[in-house]
Amino acid sequence: MASSASKGQQANRRPRIGITTYLEPTSWGVWQREAAILPRVYLDAVVAAGGVPLLLPPVGTDPTVLDLLDGLIIAGGCDVDPTSYDAAPHPETVGTQPRRDEHEAILIKAALDTDLPLLAICRGLQMLNVTLGGTLHQHLPDSVAHDDHRPSPAVFGRTEVKVEPDTLTGRLFGERTSVHCYHHQALDKVADSLRVTARAGDGTVEAAEVEGKQFALGVQWHPEENSEDLRLFAALVAEGKKRSPRR
C-alpha cells in the first residue's frame, strides 16, 4: 500500500510531456558533432504550462516509452519525405529525414492506440496526416500563389485563421485567432480519420483533430513562438494531468 507521502508526491507530480527532437550537425564549445536538438521555446512553453518536458530523440525508438508520459508533442522541423505518401519529390522539398519520419509515425500510432494526449505542431500536423493516410502539398506557393506562410528565411509570418465551432480547437480559440507561421508545405488530401478544424483565408488547413479521440490535435502554426498565448500547451498539460493519476 502506498504511503501518505508517496500519495502526496503522486498528487503533486507535474504531467510529463514527451517532445520529439531531431538530429542535426551542431556546434558547442570546441565540439562539432551530430546531436539531438530542439528549440528551447518548446521546453519553456511546456514548463510555463505546468508540465515537465522529456526529449525523445529519433534513435532507439520504443513506443512503450509512452507508458511513462502523460502527453506527447510532435515538434516542427524539416520536410516530410514524400515517398512516405507515395509522391515524387518536388524541387523545393529538401532536408528530409526518413528516420525521423519513421520514429514519429511509430509514436503517433502508439499515442492514438493508447489515447495519450497528443499535440502535433507544424511538421507534426503533416506527419499526423501522412501517418493516417493523407498527403501533402509539397510547396504551398504552387497552390495559393503566395509565400505569406513563410515570408523569409528564419522569419515567422502571421496568419489569421477561422476556426470551426463545436471542436476542441474552437473551445480553445473561439471563432478566429492570429498565429505565428513558418511553413511551405501543408495538408493536401486529408486523412479520413481527421477533421479539419481551422483554415487560413487562402484555404490552407491550419488545424485538424483525430475523430473519436479526447485530445489528438494538430496545428500548422507554431504556438511555441508566442509565449503570451499558452492555451494549447495548457490544454495538453491539463489533459495529461487527468491521465496521470490513472497510470
Enzyme catalytic residues: 122, 222, 224
Q: What are phi and psi of 66, to 5 degrees?
A: -65, -20
- Within 10 A of 110 (CB to CB), how many other CB atoms are there? 18
Convert 65-86 to b/e letters by CB count within 10 Å (16 or more is b). Answer: ebeebbbbbbbbbebbbbebbe
Helix, strand or coil for residue 127? helix
DSSP 244: G
Helix, strand or coil for residue 206? strand
Any idea how long the chain is?
A: 247
